[in-house]
Amino acid sequence: MASAPQNPTAAAAASDLLRVDDLPGRGRGLVASRNVREGEVLLSEPPVLLYPSTLASLRSYCAACFRSLPAAGAAVPCASCRAAAFCSPSCAAASHPRLLCTALSQAVQEPLLFLLSAYSLPDPSLHVVLSLSSAPPPPPGAQDAAGLHAAVAALAPPHMLPQGFSPDLTAALLSKDRGNSFAIMEPYRPGMSLELLKARAYAVYPRASLFNHDCLPNVCHFDYPDRPGPGNTDIVVRALHDISEGREVCISYFAANWRYADRQRRLLEDYGFRCECDRCQVESRWKDDDDNNGDDGDEAMEEEEGEEGGGDGGDDGMEEEEEEEGDGADDFPHAYFFVRYLCDSEGCWGMLAPLPPSPNGELSHVFECNLCGKLRKEEDAMPDEGTSGMNITFLVGSSDYDYSLGLAILLIVSLGDTIDLILFQDLSHQSSTVIVLVLPHTVPQTILSEALLV
């Protein structure tokens, strides 16, 4: 596993690459304000709010900067609460949220970590959080906002609470947290199960919270919490591929390999919308999705809460020379997307984005995974022909298509005992588009070549 790049934000603090637009049916969104090249950093932003994911994480990470704590003895315990520790005297001087610190000297429940941190913010920062979009109400019983409010009131000295402290304000803050927080993950170590990787902290980034979701995003975000120097908890958003000026810039709110039904369920329940991106439009016609796509371990990923954001990045930028008339929405090369941008480390499913171009504009051709940190050369994305020798089983075909005419093929392919899939989309009814979804990392080149030639 390669290490993180030396200077991942070298391509500049680039907030001027994005502008905020009101987008019909999707609220605010971020749009490229000029042509963007693959790997470019579109956003590098510090959090307005940062809080520990669990009480246990306070024993492993600095309460101020969330770097891994140095070995026992070298950490600096918080002089006030003694429950948290800092990685250095300067972090100890910066301290941690004052209400949280006060509460930690008593018994504090984990679900209060966010509220105690949010209520410690200065007013302008609290207003920034409140300006973000709200998540839909949680299902009954899922989160007792009134109970959490009462617990904060019981723990916090009244003079430390902000003006306007009320059950409604607490409910509003909880909703902002659900809809906008990003996880800062534990460090990955080679050999560890990525599915068990947990968040060390959660962070709210005002500008990154304006990214809408797309199931084929055109950017992904990175965090480098253990890197030295300032800004270790900044979110860094890089372009997966070229993005044309005026295109909406979108992240995926979860791992890109989720199946259609799970994606739609999550987006509706947690974000209150139905996704109508290009990929969803294709997969909504795939009637067998639910029955046949199997259990591919999504549950573990749903726990991960690793990514938030939003939007419909759709077909932007890629392979433009192959686009035909119209907006090109049907021409997005899904196969290319999965082979190129989905990490092939076992069980990872992180996204690979090119490293930033060099200062003289040269593209990197090295891709970095935003979850396991693996670096992969561009030429290694496509496996060699005939290397796999895998047992390929055709599990299902759709009755919607006339195979005898050979006009369309729709297949799920299981490679070995993992559930991987390839969808050859209708060639006759829609357009000349070939859409192939490939989730394994070892699909033989021959399969892809055949698909693209059909």
Ligand X SMILES: C[S@@+](CC[C@H](N)C(=O)[O-])C[C@H]1O[C@@H](n2cnc3c(N)ncnc32)[C@H](O)[C@@H]1O
Nearest distance from C-beta of residue 30 to ligand X, angstroms: 8
Q: Minimum distance from CB of 82 to ligand X (Å)?
A: 37
- Pick 76 or 215: Cβ nearer ligand X: 215
Task: Note the Cα 57 to chain centre separation in Å.
Answer: 21
**Ramachandran category for residue 353: left, alpha or beta (phi over 0 → left; psi -120 to 50 → alpha):** beta
Closest separation in Å from C-beta 439 to ligand X: 22
Q: Which is nearer to ligand X, 179 or 317 (CB)?
A: 179
Q: Which is nearer to ligand X, 8 or 306 (CB)?
A: 306
CA–CA gap between residue 210 and residue 221 (Å, rounded): 13
Residue pair 36/243 in contact by the 8 Å Cβ criterion = yes
Shortest gap between Cβ of 163 and ligand X (angstroms)?
25
Closest CB to ligand X among 213 and 374?
Answer: 213
The CA distance from 331 to 275, in Å, is 19
Tell me the closest approach of the beta carbon of residue 280 to ligand X, in angstroms.
9
CA 253 – CA 117 distance, rounded (Å): 24
The tokens 């796509």 sit on which residue?
293
Helices vs strands, H then E, count in the chain: 13, 17
Q: Which is nearer to ligand X, 21 or 378 (CB)?
A: 21
Beta carbons within 8 Å of 64's beta carbon, 6+ residues apart: 86, 87, 91, 92, 94, 95, 96
d(CA 370, CA 381): 16
Nearer to ligand X, 213 or 238 (CB): 213
Q: Name the DSSP letter for residue 63.
A: T
Task: Find the shortest distance in angstroms from Cβ 358 to ligand X.
Answer: 32
Residue 378, C-beta contacts closer than 8 angstroms, at least 6 positions apart: 354, 365, 366, 367
Nearer CB in complex with ligand X: 29/356:
29
Give the torsion sign (CA, 281, 285, 289, 292). negative
- List contacts with ligand X (CB under 6 A): 25-29, 133, 179-180, 209-210, 212-213, 271-273, 275, 308-312
Taking the complex as a whole, the smallest distance from the CB of residue 22 to ligand X amounts, in Å, to 8
